[in-house]
């Protein structure tokens, strides 16, 4: 259950990171509300997952999922250019996250 909660929290990290960019310094209401809501839910999920998972592993997985999904979303929407090197390095992050799950 902790791993599932951690994955959802990582997904929410990508949501709040994207919303933060779209909030334009908190001048846009809807992205700002999405940011604060997703941030609170993401942090709460991370905190609950850390009850059963080591802090270092949980944090690394949370950040890895959030970072990868944020970049993938930006590339999919055209906000950020797609590049083979980015895909290779994102794959390395995903491999590291999977590796942390396997060695746990």
Q: What is the CA radius of gyration of the chain?
A: 14
- 51-95 per-position pLDDT tens digit: 999 999 999 999 999 999 999 999 999 999 999 999 999 999 999
Q: Which domain holds residue 32?
A: 2-103
> Any idea which residue has 């999405």 for tokens?
34
**Domain count across the chain:** 1
Q: How high is the mean pLDDT of the chain?
A: 96
Query: Over pLDDT 90: what percentage of the chain?
Result: 95
* pLDDT surpassing 90 at residue 100: no
* pLDDT surpassing 90 at residue 21: yes
Question: What span, in angstroms and rounded, lies between the C-alpha atoms of 42 and 62?
Answer: 9
């Amino acid at each position: 259950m902790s791993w599932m909660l951690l994955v959802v929290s990582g997904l929410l990290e990508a949501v709040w990171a994207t919303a933060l960019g779209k909030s334009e310094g908190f001048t846009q209401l809807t992205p700002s509300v999405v940011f604060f809501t997703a941030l609170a839910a993401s942090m709460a999920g991370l905190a609950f997952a850390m009850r059963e998972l080591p802090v270092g592993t949980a944090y690394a997985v949370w950040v890895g999922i959030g970072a990868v999904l944020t970049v993938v979303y930006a590339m999919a929407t055209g906000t950020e250019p797609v590049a083979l090197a980015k895909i290779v390095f994102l794959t390395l992050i995903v491999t590291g996250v999977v590796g942390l799950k396997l060695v746990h």
